[in-house]
Amino acid sequence: MNQKSETRKMIATINLLAIAIILDVLINAIPVLNLSMPFGGKFFGISMLPIVMIGLMFGLKYGLISGFIYAMYNFGIDYIIYIEALKSTLEAWTGESWGAFKIFMLILFDYIIPFMAFGLSGLFKEGFKTKAKFIYAFVTVSIVRLISSTISGVILWSSSITYAVDQVEQGEANQNIATQLFSFVGNKIWLYSLGYNLIYIVSTLIVTLIIGLLSFKRLQAITQDYAI
């Protein structure tokens, strides 16, 4: 019985991961919904919902593994198609030397931690019992994602915004939301990184919560089908 239960969990996890990837592909292909911040960060990252559901339904182990797989998928989409040129591309963007350690930090803080954070919903296995707990789970994983992305913005990408501002000042580029935000916070990199990442993480949280709450009873029923 236990082996049968684990098999059902694995199949459901694979299906939800597939749904997350399909949603990501569709959002990227649909105008307006594919809006993102200038240096990365999707406004409508609703693929977050299936990953968070995995943790809520099956616990921390399944949630974290799913988050890691989804992180590697995103890294692959962003970089693997030109992996041989990754180092030179990053150096061109930032004006800094990128060795193996910095690339590892990029993978860790921009992919592994933020997307595995979705799997931390496994800490809230009663998240489908009440809407309040459901919301609390989503807010918590979003905060972890925000912390990781903010740290990344400071230690890895601070030179990118400086370069972008210089380009604007020289008349070689137009203002965008990132350069405007940097000026608004008085060129304070911590405030800039926090504000930059807060914009798309909060928009994703709001949209995902709206969808989740509108379909809450259906999600509860699905969860009960897999209750042990």
Residue 24: its pLDDT value, please? Answer: 92
pLDDT of residue 195: 96
User: Per-residue pLDDT for the chain (228 aa), expressed as one digit of tens each?
Assistant: 577 778 888 999 999 999 999 999 999 899 888 899 988 889 999 999 999 999 999 989 999 999 999 999 988 877 764 455 566 766 776 677 777 788 888 889 999 999 999 999 999 877 788 898 899 999 999 999 999 999 999 998 888 888 888 888 888 888 999 999 999 999 999 999 999 999 999 999 999 999 999 999 888 888 777 655
pLDDT score, position 86: 62
**DSSP assignments along 48-107, one per residue:** HHHHHHHHHHH-HHHHHHHHHHHHHHHHHHHHGGGGGGHHHHHHHHHSS---HHHHHHHH
Give the domain CATH number at 169.
1.10.1760.20
Domain count across the chain:
1
3-state secondary structure of 36: strand
Name the residue range of residue 160's domain: 2-225
The pLDDT of residue 136 is 93
The pLDDT assigned to 77 comes to 79
What angle, rounded to 10 degrees, do the helices at 189-214 and 158-169 form?
110
Of 115, 113, 96, 92, the C-alpha closest to 104 is 113
What local confidence, expressed as pLDDT, does residue 227 receive? Answer: 58
